[in-house]
């Protein structure tokens, strides 16, 4: 039986952009387990030069997109851990553009970024698999909005699906 989708009001409305990318009836834990192979297939064969491709001025490179996925997943998993454990301290937001600017992603070899991504994903999978029904429905506050662990479980694979779509639509046509 698939994990029930989060109810409206248990996450900031913007997150429907990510939650909506998890197909109806799909199990988010399965998506989390399957996405690393998809990402490796998409990015693993790129040269270092190709991985520095950006689709426009001021837009992230492919390496920066990958490190954005890593950073964001770490933050969302940390939020899920805090909320699941009953921590009621409001959790701050983050500026993804500032994180990308400070990341140093473009100076790192692509295989290193892919290995880090896979390690973070394995840790996230282990964490999300550990949550029972009561923990999934706990609510906390992040970026001044309510959020449940269940919503975060859907946001993580949905966020990645969003960026994989952008990579395919905007970046890969430029690679020839």
For the cut 70, the answer to whether the pLDDT of residue 1 exceeds it is no
Closest by CA position to 118, among listed 42, 34, 45, 36? 36
Task: Assess contact for 44 and 109: CB atoms under 8 A.
Answer: no
Question: What domains sit in the chain, N to C, each tagged with a CATH number?
Answer: 13-175 (1.20.120.450)
Angle at 83 between CA 82 and CA 87, to 5 degrees: 70
What's the rounded mean pLDDT across residues 68-86? 98
Task: Assess contact for 145 and 8: CB atoms under 8 A.
Answer: no
Task: Give, for 98, the enclosing helix (H) or strand (E).
Answer: helix 96-102
Judge if pTM exceeds 0.85.
yes
For the cut 90, the answer to whether the pLDDT of residue 73 exceeds it is yes
* Per-residue pLDDT reduced to its tens digit, 80-126: 999 999 999 999 999 999 999 999 999 999 999 999 999 999 999 99
Length of the chain: 176
pLDDT of residue 176: 78
């Amino acid at each position: 039986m698939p994990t029930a989708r989060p109810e409206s009001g248990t996450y900031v409305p913007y997150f429907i952009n990510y939650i909506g990318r998890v197909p109806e009836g799909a199990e988010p834990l399965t998506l989390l387990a399957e996405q690393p192979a998809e990402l490796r297939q998409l990015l693993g064969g790129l040269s270092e030069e190709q991985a520095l491709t950006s689709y426009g001025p001021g837009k992230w490179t492919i390496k920066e997109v990958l490190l954005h996925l890593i950073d964001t997943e770490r933050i969302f998993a940390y939020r899920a851990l805090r909320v699941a454990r009953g921590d009621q301290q409001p959790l701050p937001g983050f500026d993804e553009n500032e994180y990308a600017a400070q990341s140093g992603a473009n100076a790192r070899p692509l295989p290193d970024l892919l290995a880090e991504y896979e390690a973070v994903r394995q840790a996230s999978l282990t964490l999300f698999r550990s949550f029972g029904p009561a923990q999934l429905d706990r609510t906390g506050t992040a970026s001044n909005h309510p959020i449940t662990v269940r919503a975060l479980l859907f946001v993580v694979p949905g966020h990645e699906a969003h960026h994989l779509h952008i990579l395919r639509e905007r970046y890969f046509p430029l690679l020839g």
